[in-house]
Structure 1
Amino acid sequence: MDIQALTSRIEDPLIRRGVEEAIGKTLLPALREEAFRGHFIVDADGTHFGTESVFPGLDAWEIAGAYLSLGKTRSVLDFFAFVEASQRSDGHIPFAVFPDRPDLDLSTHMRGVNYPADVFVYPAPDEAGQSREAGANERRWVRLFKHWVPTNPLGVLAPVSYLLLAEEIVRQTGDLRWLSGKLDSLDNAAAYVRSRKSENGLIDGAGFYVELHSRYEWDGVTQCYAIHAFRMLARLYRAAGNPARAEHWEREAAVLEQAFQELFWQGDHFAEYIHPEHGLVDFHGLTDVNWAAIAFGIATEEQAAVVWPLMKAEERLWRGDMPSQTIAMHYLFREWELHERLPFEGRNMGPLHDVSAMGRVWYLEALSCLRMNDTERLVDSVRLVCRMGERHDWFWYERYQPMQTWDVQPTGAYKYCEYAAILVRLVLGNPALFS
């Protein structure tokens, strides 16, 4: 791949270097295609999460979208086929998949596995990298649907991400024939998300993309992503010529949106989450729920006009000059928000592990900038992310946790793909802003 040909029109030398390094040092090395065609890992060298683990949740959508922008369409379609094969009969998609092996430890982080019911088989590629015939050299894989944290966060992360990846594939390729063969699977995934609706009209599942703390039980980001995913599925049905199913999912999105508006809007911002015993949680300052509501068009024009300047003025969301923190106020947690520490938890994973800057939050903020036409803030955020990569040999960490000082502490997986993928998506996907 000629990386320089992709980046030659990027005017800012720092951003151009950042994109080139993100592609060459992180994304391309992660696309291994060894365990199955289309397989990629979530850190560049596999030292943190392993060389064969698969994460069909947000990682899949974010990283695969970057590969689409690099022209790796065949790889993304093959990856999607693997995730489709992992789908449970009720439509659910696992948020993690691991090779089945005799020494599999099902007592710690994989204790949510229902073995052997959560096992499925999938063909490994042959020596030439081609898929084998069904039944030939199939490998056994273990699906993880239930999180090890007692409140079971990430409950609908993977099926929502599956829907968004499908929509992005169709938007990039225009392949309606491919879509026609996937609609049943996609409808089943959306139906599973819909099945998680509670009496209050909200989708449960704890934190959408945060585990510690888990935002038990009705997270505002979850609602926004579910609304967005239902609308994207409706868009796919319209493209496929099925207006009846499109209208069905548009209605589901509208009903969920109404519940979200009624329960989360606080007059000038959206609250963070609703706890089943303690009610509305809105004491961590401004949060990423506001980015999600703006990014996906759920915040009305009037609401966006009110909350946007507040979010921009909240400097703590860019603590340490690194976009974007999940919450503004990092130390006002109640005891009932944190689960009891389990014996197998590592010392480096405290109860506030995800109170940090992460690429998934930055992406929502960037999409919000695009909606609000605040290109200056978007470009500034890209520069900051590139500077942080430069500080660490042009790699990024999974998280940047707030310190008692203004700085942030890099934590989690080093050489993680998320920031690299979002950087590539934003810059290559918006060439007019960076030329």
Structure 2
Amino acid sequence: MSRKKERKGSDNKEKLNSVKPEVKAGVDDKEKGLYLIQIEFLNEELERFQIKCDKLEKQNQILICQYSTLDTEKKDITEYLKHSLSEKDKELDEVLEQLEVERLASIQEKHSLQLEHSRLRQELQARVDKLTEKNAALGVCNLGLQSSMWLFGPSTAALNNSVEKLADLEEFQRQKDDLMTNMESLEKQLERQKKERKEEIHSLEMKALLEKRRLEKEMESEVAAMSEKVQHLVDQRLPETTRSVLQENTELKTRFSQLSEVAKSLLEENTALREHKRQLSIDTDILEQMVRETSRISCVRKKKVQQLTGELQQLQEDITEKQQHLEQLETEHARVLAEMEALRLDRASLSAEWSRNRLERNQLEVKLKEERRRRNRMKSIMQDAANSLRQALKEAPTEQQDEDSVPRWRQLLQNLQELLDRQTLSRSSAEGVSDLQKSDPAPTR
């Protein structure tokens, strides 16, 4: 088409000097119509590019609004997480303080139990030594003391029972030490988890802050670059086109008489307009590419926002899991307290059992004293019987003695029989008492 116009222009140049003024006027009207058509086309192009520019401005405003909304949501979520984490830290500190108080109380109770345990062990050892000495002393006595030795059977059983209770108390102490060890390990685990959670929160905050700053810088740079490019295109390209069109109109008005020069300038301007159109198409492609790049960046940012949302949800799940673990630890702590309360009750029952054993020991000591008195009385009775027998043997009547001494000898034998009867009665009463003692300890135990 440009060749045709050039050929037409050359033909017009050849016919300039030969045509009449009427023909020149017709040619001028055609050229003027052509210029008007080109001006309308350029105005349409300008309107179309202005519409595209407005669309890009609207998209830019939408992206800026979306970014501000996402930034606000991110700030709100971060503040909420910080607030919830601070509350969890406060609750954790309170639980740790309670655990520390309970640990100190358990240490004091452990110390008191150790003192009580050592005291009970010393008392039981002294009691065992004392009973061993008594048993050795009573082992060399006669047959009458065997019954009193038999009376020590319940005391030995009570001693064995006390030893078993002492072993149970040692087992209780060992279990308590195990519970204290478990409690210390749980406290260490809580402290370690607290430090790990603080480090994770700090790292997440730093990552979120760096990501936020990077996104802000990228968005600011991209918005600034896009604004500069659009402003440059608006300020440089479109006003230049307008100035060229106005200049062409001025030249058409001022140089209407010089058709040859006007045709040449129009050809040059036509070429410039084509170049300008090509440049505008290139700029349009660049703008479209920028729009696509902006859309891609927007999609990438949406994906990043979704990723951050997923990370926040994961963090909330971790916090929920930590809270459940803390509730489990509180339940375990309550169970340990219940077990310690049960152990305190067992200790009280052991103390009551020990008091009852000491009462039985006192009763046995009283019975032992009574048995000793009875044995001394039996010894005196047997000694009196032996003296009576010796006296009777000395004063026994012979054939040479007269019959007057027989009544006296009979009197001595009667006295001896009375002594023996009293001994028999005392022995039978002792056996009855021992039978009663055999039947009494069973319900006492």
Q: Please give the TM-score of this superposition, normalised by the length of structure 1.
A: 0.13
Higher relative contact order (CA 8 A, sep 6+): 2
Flag the structure with higher helix content.
Answer: 2
